[in-house]
């Protein structure tokens, strides 16, 4: 379906692998007059855009100057009010730590029609490509998506470490690398087992994906040693050890921390080697 004039589409582009973009996102990209896009969109995501489409980069790089959120909202509104069909293209899903909610509110307040087009969120896809089923039936009957890095303007943390420590399932932290050490310490102090398996997945679903598997208590050290950086997800829970035995995608690399001592496992790990290098796809 073609993008309609005067409408803003908040579109999820998925976690990085172009093959995980939805048909709806590709149709909208191909027909939009203007596309405002983020940094973390799949390579080639804009290849199908019209030649005369206006392509505007409004991405945020952690720690670097970027277009303020209010300004992005203002520009979306202006473009729609000028009669353009507008795609706001974001990594993953727009409503999962994607600020799509704020943009939708701004559009609604300005009387601009908008639609949300969900995308595949990194918390599920990067985990899957790393071989981690976030709700493996034997290990986790719930999963929580958590921000590992809150808005620096907020004075107090909204994270309830006690509740997270006792959450009966998998914890998936977005934006969690920088504060991994502090967050892991907070979880352990609140009662989560330091020996619980944990993983960090860098560049999930993209070329060069890497996974480090350790324990909650040792993951920060493993991440530091391996030089794992953003974008990366932190997965805490018994399912994390599946990265070693169910590698979901042959383009990735999995490193088991030498200093890790995961909690006793009910199922035997199928990956006896401490370091697994996987072949090309």
- Enumerate binding residues for ligand SAM (CB under 6 A): 15-16, 40, 90-93, 96-98, 121-122, 126, 174-175, 201, 203-206, 230-233
Identified catalytic residue from 17, 21, 33, 38: 38
Residue whose C-beta lies closest to ligand SAM: 92
Q: Establish whether 175 is a catalytic residue.
A: yes
H or E element: which one contains 199? strand 197-202
**Shortest distance in whole angstroms from residue 149 CB to ligand SAM:** 7
**Shortest distance in whole angstroms from residue 225 CB to ligand SAM:** 19
Identified catalytic residue from 93, 139, 175, 206: 175
Q: What is the radius of gyration, based on Cα positions, of the chain? A: 20
Residue 4: Cβ-neighbour burial (10 angstroms; 0-12, 13-18, 19+): middle
Note whether 165 and 194 are within 8 A (CB): no
**Shortest distance in whole angstroms from residue 5 CB to ligand SAM:** 27
Nearer of residues 84 and 125 to ligand SAM, judged by Cβ: 125
**Residue 243 backbone phi and psi in degrees, to 5:** -60, -25
- What is the residue whose two structure tokens read 């087009």? 117
Residues with Cβ within 8 Å of residue 58, at least 6 apart in sequence: 36, 37, 38, 66, 67, 72, 75
Nearer of residues 186 and 269 to ligand SAM, judged by Cβ: 186
Nearer of residues 203 and 241 to ligand SAM, judged by Cβ: 203
Q: Quick check: helix, strand or coil at residue 11?
A: strand
Nearer of residues 170 and 205 to ligand SAM, judged by Cβ: 205
Identified catalytic residue from 60, 162, 178, 193: 60
Residues with Cβ within 8 Å of residue 162, at least 6 apart in sequence: 190, 191
**Shortest distance in whole angstroms from residue 60 CB to ligand SAM:** 8
């Amino acid at each position: 379906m073609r993008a309609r004039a005067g409408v803003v589409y908040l579109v999820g582009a998925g976690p990085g692998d172009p093959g995980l973009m939805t048909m709806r996102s590709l149709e909208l990209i191909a027909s939009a007059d203007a596309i405002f896009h983020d940094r973390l969109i799949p390579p080639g995501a804009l290849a199908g855009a019209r030649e005369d489409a206006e392509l505007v980069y409004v991405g945020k790089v952690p720690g670097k100057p970027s277009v303020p959120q209010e300004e992005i909202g203002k520009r979306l509104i202006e473009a729609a009010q000028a009669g353009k069909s507008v795609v706001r293209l974001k990594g993953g899903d727009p409503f999962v730590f994607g600020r799509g909610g704020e943009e939708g509110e701004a559009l609604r307040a300005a009387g601009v029609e908008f639609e949300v087009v969900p995308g595949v969120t990194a918390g599920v896809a990067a985990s899957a490509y790393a071989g981690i089923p976030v709700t493996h039936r034997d290990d986790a009957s719930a999963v929580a998506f958590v921000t590992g890095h809150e808005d620096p303007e907020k004075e107090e943390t909204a994270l309830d470490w006690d509740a997270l420590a006792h959450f009966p399932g998998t914890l998936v932290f977005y934006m969690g690398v920088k504060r991994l050490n502090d967050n892991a310490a907070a979880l352990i102090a609140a009662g989560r087992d330091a020996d619980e398996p944990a993983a960090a997945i860098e560049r999930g679903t993209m070329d060069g994906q890497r996974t480090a598997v350790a324990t909650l208590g040792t993951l920060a050290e493993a991440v530091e040693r391996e030089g794992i950086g953003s974008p990366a997800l932190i997965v805490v829970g018994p399912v994390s050890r599946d990265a070693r035995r169910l590698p979901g995608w042959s383009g990735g690399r999995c490193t088991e921390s030498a200093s890790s001592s995961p909690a006793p496992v009910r199922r035997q790990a199928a990956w006896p080697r401490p370091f697994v290098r996987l072949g090309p796809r």
